[in-house]
Amino acid sequence: MKVADVFRFRNAEIKALHLTWIAFFITFYVWFNMAPLASSMLKSVDWLTTDDLRLFAICNVALTIPARIVVGMALDRFGPRRVFSVLMVLMSIPALFFAFGNTMTQLLVSRLVLSSIGASFVVGIHMTAMWFKPKDIGFAEGFYAGWGNFGSAAAAISLPTIALHMYGGEDGWRWAIAQSAIVMAAYGVYYWFAITDGPVGTVHRKPRKAVALEVSTWGDMVKLILWTIPLVGVLAILVWRIQNMGYLSTTGAAICYAVIFAVVCYQIIQILRVNVPILKKGVPEDDKYPFNSVAALNSTYFANFGAELAVVSMLPMFFEETWSLSATAAGLIAASFAFVNLVARPMGGLVSDRMGNRRFVMLSYMFGIAVGFAMMGLMNSSWPLIIAVGITVFTSFFVQGAEGATFGIIPSIKRRLTGQISGMAGAYGNVGAVVYLTIFTFVTPTQFFYIIAAGAFISWVLCVMWLKEPESGFSDEYHVSSVDRQIEEEERLRQATATST
């Protein structure tokens, strides 16, 4: 696939790619519609405080992690078209509640529920994988993610203008948020009728069970349990932060911790229920896949996407304080970190497609991230500002490229489990953000850059040890195992029986 191919709008897979990144763009536009309107909210609602908005910011990412896991399971069962459409329509409801909420509880609960919309990322990853062949998947996934992520920047640029000049008045911010929610719901309905799950005639390969990821060996099952615990366990950090901010009583926090513990236990039970019968029966050789590769990619997304979310949150203040810049100038310079996404992420996928070795590309990007953040740790006020900006862009280039390379590999690991694997890796990106942002509250910016550089280096080591070049990573078609064919035949017989009765 060439870059020029993205302009061939009559091509069915290109049309699907554009329809899907637009859906992702809109969901991220709605997800990040509060921050650019924060000052308008404070002026309009006299009982809101800056601390309240900080709490809403935490709630805005709280349920994204479990939502990505649940949506990943739903994808393998119902397909990305239905899941994406339903997600957009359903999430417009809490967005509208937030827009017109008049109490602290209404705003907090609606923002908490709305955080589930962050799961949209993994839906589009699955849809794109169904439309593009393994040899083209890197660029296609990178293009989808790069332009979709731009939705958050578009919200920051356009929403204040819409609130002030299109609607105006004290409630302008409410109507601006409501408008974004209504557009999302309308596009969700349109998406249902405008696209199919892959080209017509494509077989949607499903896992035998959607409640937990299938594995190939007993050792892999233990590793899956160990990698599952942090996905929900990290929410305990959010509870701890909310309690420390005074918004949650000791009793309330204890209840939250108990719920988190119960959910972790439930997930472990589901893993055992799904995998013990499969492993006792024996997994055919042609159906086995390396779970170590999944673990390695969980670590890369923790280290690249997690670092991106955390750095974007602190970079404006770092430039403002280190070089004594105005808030506007610092914000514009810091924005360069996000804007690189438009080019670097598709390029990461394109390089992954062209190099003929996706593992080597992944290793190169992760090493580049470690070097980049280590160099940012060395920066101080004695450095020329232009050099500091150059290093920031250099680092961002590797961070975004690594994100593209990560999802250039995932669809080729195990075709029928793509949704669950994407959901797990995507969730680890949010786990990384929570961990890094929490660490940032205890260290200086310089120490922070060194810590995330160390995180990237550890991920690089894990990739050296665990990541394998995916089978059929550059083929015209994805690998189909004997179990895939058996599941397909069982589904065909089930449908035939249902039709005859």
Q: Which of 118, 434, 147, 427 is nearest to 297 (CA)?
A: 427
Which one-letter amino acid corresponds to residue 469? E
Which one-letter amino acid corresponds to residue 491? E
Distance in angstroms (rounded) separating the CA atoms of residues 190 and 169: 32
3-state SS class at 375: helix
Q: For 289-326, where are the alpha helices, taking DSSP H only?
A: 291-322
pLDDT digits (tens, 9 = 90+) for 295-340: 999 999 999 988 887 887 777 778 888 888 876 677 677 767 767 7
In the chain, % of residues over pLDDT 70: 94
Distance in angstroms (rounded) separating the CA atoms of residues 294 and 301: 11
pLDDT score recorded for residue 269: 94
State the pLDDT confidence band at 202, using cuts at 50, 70 and 90. low
* Cα 1 to Cα 16, 130, 147, 350, distances in angstroms: 15, 15, 17, 9
pLDDT score recorded for residue 295: 95
For the stretch 354-392, what's the b/e string if a residue is b when 16 or more beta carbons lie within 10 angstroms of its beta carbon?
A: eeeebbebbbbbbbbbbbbbbbbbebeeeeeeeebbebb
Count H helices, E strands: the chain?
20, 0
pLDDT score recorded for residue 462: 96
pLDDT score recorded for residue 206: 66
Tokens 């593209």, residue located: 404
Positive or negative: CA dihedral 218, 219, 224, 226: positive
Does position 63 have pLDDT exceeding 90, yes or no? Answer: no
pLDDT score recorded for residue 460: 96
Q: Which two tokens stand for residue 302?
A: 């923790």
Q: Which two tokens stand for residue 46?
A: 């006299």
Q: Lowest-confidence range among 106-110, 401-405, 408-412, 492-496? A: 492-496
Geometric angle at alpha carbon 469, from 121 and 77, rounded to 5°: 40
pLDDT score recorded for residue 92: 96
Q: Which two tokens stand for residue 126?
A: 């699955």
Q: Residue 32: is it exposed, middle or buried by C-beta count within 10 angstroms (0-12/13-18/19+)?
A: buried
End-to-end CA distance of the chain: 46
Distance in angstroms (rounded) separating the CA atoms of residues 272 and 214: 10
pLDDT score recorded for residue 17: 93
**What are φ and ψ of residue 256, in 5° steps?**
-60, -45
Contacting residues for 46 by C-beta, under 8 A, at least 6 apart = none
pLDDT score recorded for residue 495: 72
pLDDT digits (tens, 9 = 90+) for 6-60: 888 888 999 999 999 999 999 989 988 887 788 788 888 888 887 787 778 778 8
pLDDT score recorded for residue 268: 93
pLDDT digits (tens, 9 = 90+) for 366-399: 999 999 999 999 998 899 989 998 998 899 889 9
Q: Which two tokens stand for residue 186?
A: 């309308």
Other beta carbons within 10 Å of 475: 13
Q: Own/partner pairs for 323-331, CB < 8 Å, 24+ apart?
A: 323/381, 323/385, 323/388, 324/381
